[in-house]
Structure 1
Amino acid sequence: MYLRVKYAETENGICVLRCYGYEQTLVIPDELMGRPVTELAPYACSSSDPGDRWKKYEIQETVLHEEEKLPGEEQELAGELLTEVYLPRHLKRIGAYAFYFCRQLKILHVQGELEDIEGGAFMWCKGLNRLTFRNIPWENKVVYNVLSEFTQELEASLFFADGTTLTLTFPEYYEESVENTPARIIDTHWHGSGYKYRQCFPERKLDLGGYDKLFPYAVANELPDTCLQLALNRLKYPLSLTEEAAGQYRKFLADHGKELVKRAVQKEDPDLLALMEEQGLLSEELTAFATPYAAEHGAAEVGSFLMDYRRRHSGRRKKTFEL
Structure 2
Amino acid sequence: MKNHFEWKIVETGIEITRYLGDASSVIIPEKIDEQKVVSLAAYAFERCRGLYELFMPDGLLSIGTHAFYNCRELRKIVLYNTVNSIGDGAFKNCGNLKEVFIYRVIPKTKCLKGILSEINQELHVTLDYGEDKWNGISVAKLVFPKYEFDYEEVTAARIINQVTYGSGVHFRECMFGGDVDYKKYDADFFVARANDSDETAAFLAMYRAFYPYKLEEEAQQMYLAYIKENLDYIFNLAAEREDMEILEQLSKLEVFDRESLERILKAASSLGKLEIIHFLLTYKKRKFGFSDKSFEL
Inter-CA distance 115–179: structure 2 relative to 1 (3 Å threshold) = farther
Distance 2:35 2:160 in 1: 48
CA-to-aligned-CA distance 1:75-129 (integer Å, 9 cap, x gap) = xxxx211000112222222222211111111101121121222222111101110
**Cα distance in 1 between the residues matched to 2:116 and 2:165:** 17
Query: Is 1:252 equivalent to 2:226 in the alignment?
Result: yes
The answer to whether the Cα contact below 8 Å between 1:100 and 1:125 also exists between their aligned partners in 2 is yes
Q: Aligned ranges for residues 50-89 of structure 1 at < 5 Å?
A: 79-89=48-58
Unmatched runs of 5 consecutive residues or more in structure 1: 48-78, 319-323
1:19 to 2:16 alignment: no
Which amino acid in 2 is paired with 1:159? D
Matching residue's letter, 1:43: Y
- For residue 91 of structure 1, the aligned residue among 44, 52, 60 is 60
Measured after TM superposition, the shift of residue 277 of structure 1 is: 3.2
State the aligned residue count: 287
Change (3 A) 1:269 1:208: same
> For the Cα contact (< 8 Å) 2:84–2:110, is it kept in 1?
yes
Of 303-312 and 267-276, deviating more is 267-276
Q: Secondary structure at the match of 1:99?
A: coil
Contact 1:155/1:170 (CA < 8 Å) preserved in 2?
Answer: yes
Residues 6 and 242 of structure 1, relative CA distance in 2, 3 Å threshold:
same
Structure 2 counterpart of 1:34, which letter? E
- Paired position in structure 1 for 2:40: 40
Q: CA deviation at 1:22?
A: 5.8
- Give the 3-state SS of the residue equivalent to 1:120 in structure 2: coil
Query: Post-superposition shift, 1:209?
Result: 0.8
* Alignment check: 8 A CA contact 1:261 1:286 kept: no
TM-score computed with the length of structure 2 as normaliser: 0.89
CA RMSD across the alignment:
2.1
Q: Mind listing any 5+ residue stretches in structure 2 that lack a counterpart?
A: 133-137, 293-297
Q: Distance in 1 between matches of 2:261 and 2:139?
A: 31
Q: Which amino acid letter does the alignment assign opposite residue 91 of structure 2?
A: F
Give the whole-Å Cα distance in 1 for the aligned partners of 2:51 and 2:96: 11
TM-score normalised by L of structure 1: 0.82
Aligned to 2:82: 113
Question: 2:123 maps to which residue?
Answer: 154
Displacement of 1:316: 8.7
CA contact (8 A) 1:273 1:282 kept: no
Post-superposition CA distance 1:163-204 (Å, at most 9, x none): 621111111112223334444443222211111111212111
- The equivalent residue for 2:295 is none
Give the corresponding residue for 1:62: none
Q: Deviations over 1:254-277 (max 9, x none)?
A: 221111222232222343233333
Aligned equivalent of 1:221, options 195, 204, 228: 195
Q: CA deviation at 1:11?
A: 1.9
Report the Cα distance in structure 2 between the residues aligned to 1:119 and 1:275, rounded to whole angstroms: 38
Classify 1:306/1:21 alpha carbon distance in 2 versus 1 (closer, same or farther; 3 Å). Answer: same
Cα distance in structure 2, aligned partners of 1:255 and 1:215: 15
Q: Distance in 2 between matches of 1:277 and 1:235?
A: 12
In the alignment, the residues of structure 2 paired with residue 154 and residue 120 of structure 1 have an alpha-carbon distance, to the nearest angstrom, of: 17
* Counterpart mapping for 1:1-323 below 5 A: 3-21=3-21, 23-47=23-47, 79-162=48-131, 164-315=138-289
Deviates more, 1:26-35 or 1:273-282: 273-282
Residues 40-84 of structure 1: per-residue CA shift (max 9 Å, x gap): 11211113xxxxxxxxxxxxxxxxxxxxxxxxxxxxxxx211000
Which of 1 and 2 has greater Rg? 1
CA distance in structure 2 between the partners assigned to 1:46 and 1:271 by the alignment = 35
Aligned structure 1 segments of 4 or more residues deviating by more than 6 angstroms: none
SS in structure 2 at match of 1:80? coil
Cα distance in 1 between the residues matched to 2:130 and 2:281: 40
Q: Which has the higher contact order (CA 8 A, sep 6+)?
A: 1
Q: Cα 1:2–1:10, aligned 2, differ >3 Å: closer, same or farther?
A: closer
